[in-house]
Chains A and B, each alone.
Chain A
Amino acid sequence: MSSKQQPEDAVLILKVAEGDREAFLALYDRYSAKVYGLALRVTGETMTAEEVTQDAFIRLWTRAATYNPDRGRLSSWLLTITRRLAIDHFRLEARRPQTWNPSNPENALEKVADPASQSEESRWATLKFALTKLPEEQRSVIELAFYHGMSHSQIAEYQAAPLGTVKTRLRLGMEKLRREWEVEDKSI
């Protein structure tokens, strides 16, 4: 994946670090949908997802000066914060994980983006599609690990599966996703 960042993000975050509310709102308008979508995926509940979204942007506001562009894109930094906050909330509320169901009409893939259009959108769509193509047992362990912060042993206990089986499923699933991702990477 290219680590090249939209120049405007780099400018905006510097302004946020200086206390610029307009820059903060620009970043909010740009990324709130992705942040809220991720929070909803993890927590499965709108009120908690709203709290997580709020917390994530408060952290962006108070920690803008700590963001280092050399370590990756701003959106990934923000979404990583979101994921951790969402998992904390999820654990705090002791909810039962709900894994994503690709056959749910609400989760139906939108029309695949034109390959000649924004490459990032097509990459996310490719990865999402690759996730749907995984066998259920591989997709579910990846979801439980990534979107619910569960460890190998926690997943094994939750699914009543042997620990070695969970590790293997996770590895096989991630290998398939990695192959799809690397194919997409080379096509850019």
Chain B
Amino acid sequence: MDHEFDEVLAGYALDAIAPEDRQQVEAHLQECERCRDIVSSYQRVTEGLLYVPEPKQPPSSLRAGLLKQIDPVYVVPGRKRAFESVSARAIGLALGLMVVLAVNVGVLLQAQRLLDQGQDALAQQQAGQTAIAIASYPSSQVAVIEEDGVRGTFVYDPDLPVGVMYVWGLQPPSEDQAYQAWLVDPQGQRVNGGLLTFSQDPGFGWLMVEAPQPIAEFISLGVTLEPAGGSVGPTGPRVLGADL
């Protein structure tokens, strides 16, 4: 017997329906066992469709590249790392040396930290002033960045080659890595947008993007995790993105 939702259940299982239709279907599924059974059977098929493409070995360089990436990548707190065993004497010597150096190094680091904070604050203030200036343009736009717990905005004027990005919730990179922004043109070419800077607040980062041409000539913005100092082209995993 035909059912009014029969025509959209397959699309629902394939995630191919409009958001407003999805809400109606989900509300209906709460009450209709028949449709739930049908959707479950479709979902078994969609799970099978994951395995239909012919398996193909990726380049061996991918494996090697991943090995380099996985150690410095941030790990959820609470995970334990396996440490290689070392001799107690070696540990004692190392600790002793650390104590001797710690005092002098600590003083130097404190002085450097104060200097860096001052410089970061100045640069952040400049970015903020730029964002305010851009926002005052009548044609200014804001692209919303949302991905896996990370939020942010990209303020820009399409006619200008500059924009300001702010992100919240992104884990600061390790010392030998950096988050790098890329502007993507309609041909898929990635143009370097610069490296994100992180403030004292954990997870808050910002960047004043300077492009070689007006932002209007790009279709999207992405952020990848790269080696410290950045890369010529994207090499690491993409962590953020927004359409422009």
12 contacts between A and B (CB under 8 A): A1-B44, A18-B80, A21-B70, A32-B57, A33-B55, A49-B58, A53-B62, A65-B79, A92-B220, A107-B54, A150-B16, A174-B10
Cβ of B137 under 8 Å from chain A = no
Residues of chain B within 8 A of A49, CB atoms compared: 58
Q: Which residues of A in the span 53-101 have a Cβ within 8 Å of any Cβ on B?
A: 53-55, 57-59, 61-63, 65, 72, 75-76, 79-80, 83, 88-89, 92-95
Chain B nearest CB from A131 CB (Å) reads 6
Give the most central of B48, B55, B81, B237: most A CB within 10 Å: B48
Chain A proximity of B80: nearest CB distance (Å):
6
B11 within 8 A of partner (CB): yes
Residues of A near B47 (CB, < 8 A) are 1, 72, 76
Q: Which residue numbers of B lie inside 8 Å of A, CB to CB?
A: 6-11, 13-18, 41-42, 44-59, 62-63, 65-67, 69-71, 73-76, 78-82, 184, 186, 188, 219-220, 222, 234, 236-238, 241
User: A175 contacts the other chain (Cβ, under 8 Å)?
Assistant: yes
For the complex formed, measure the closest distance between the CB of A24 and the CB atoms of chain B, giving whole angstroms: 6
Query: How many angstroms between the C-alpha atoms of A168 and B63 in the bound complex?
Result: 43
Chain B residue nearest to A174 in the complex (CB): B10
Asked if A36 and B11 make an inter-chain contact with CB atoms under 8 angstroms apart, the answer reads: no
Q: A36, B57: Cβ atoms under 8 Å?
A: yes
The answer to whether B16 touches A145, judged by C-beta atoms less than 8 angstroms apart, is yes
A54 in complex: contacting residue of B74, B222, B237, B241, CB < 8 Å = B237
* Any B CB within 8 A of the CB of A137: no
| B contact residues around A88 at 8 Å (CB) | 241
Nearest to B61 among chain A residues (CB) is A50
Distance of A128 Cα from B54 Cα, bound (Å) = 10
Let me know if A54 and B62 touch, CB within 8 A: yes
